[in-house]
Amino acid sequence: MSNDYTNKVIDYFRNPHNMGKMENPNGIGKVGNTVCGDVMWIYIKVKDEVITDCSFETFGCVAAIATSSALTDLVKGKSIEEALKVTNKDVANELGGLPSMKMHCSLLAEQGLKAAVDDYRKKSSDGKS
């Protein structure tokens, strides 16, 4: 894999899908990379255990923004169970690959979704969702 970003990464970075804070989400996942300081929020809306909407806010590098955006596209419409099977490698593949030194950035998206689902489950069990 070269050290260049694919056109798809650049496109997702320049024209991110599903970017922005969500009103009244059912789950919010906040994750960060302590090494670079990048931070990501993943928001989900859930109905009948299906992720009906997903958005993100990312303060980070090109790869972090592109992967969070691609993740939202990949998990929308999936059941929570299916969405949790989406790995950072799936996200990177969706983007046509990432430079190997940037693969760690894609972990944030996977971890952010898991954190959002954990938050949703916690709120559901608290009877607040």
Q: Considering Cα of 22, then 47, then 29, then 12, what sign does the dihedral take?
A: negative
Q: Which stretch binds ligand FES (CB under 6 A): 45-53, 56-64, 75-83, 113-121?
A: 56-64
Which of 51, 74, 75, 108: binder of ligand FES (CB under 6 A)? 108
Which of 1, 36, 59, 118: binder of ligand FES (CB under 6 A)? 36
Q: Which stretch binds ligand FES (CB under 6 A): 42-50, 59-67, 88-96, 115-123?
A: 59-67
Which of 16, 60, 97, 112: binder of ligand FES (CB under 6 A)? 60
Q: Which is nearer to ligand FES, 63 or 92 (CB)?
A: 63
Under DSSP, the state recorded for 128 is -
Which of 63, 66, 71, 95: binder of ligand FES (CB under 6 A)? 63
Helix then strand then coil, in percent of the chain rounded to 5, is 45, 20, 35
Q: Which stretch binds ligand FES (CB under 6 A): 8-16, 55-63, 83-91, 116-124?
A: 55-63
Q: Which is nearer to ligand FES, 33 or 124 (CB)?
A: 33
Comparing C-alpha atoms, which of 14, 70, 78, 17 is closest to residue 45?
78
- Alpha carbon distances (Å) from 39 to 1, 36, 46, 50, 121: 26, 9, 23, 26, 22
- 36 catalytic per annotation: yes
10 binds ligand FES (CB under 6 A): no
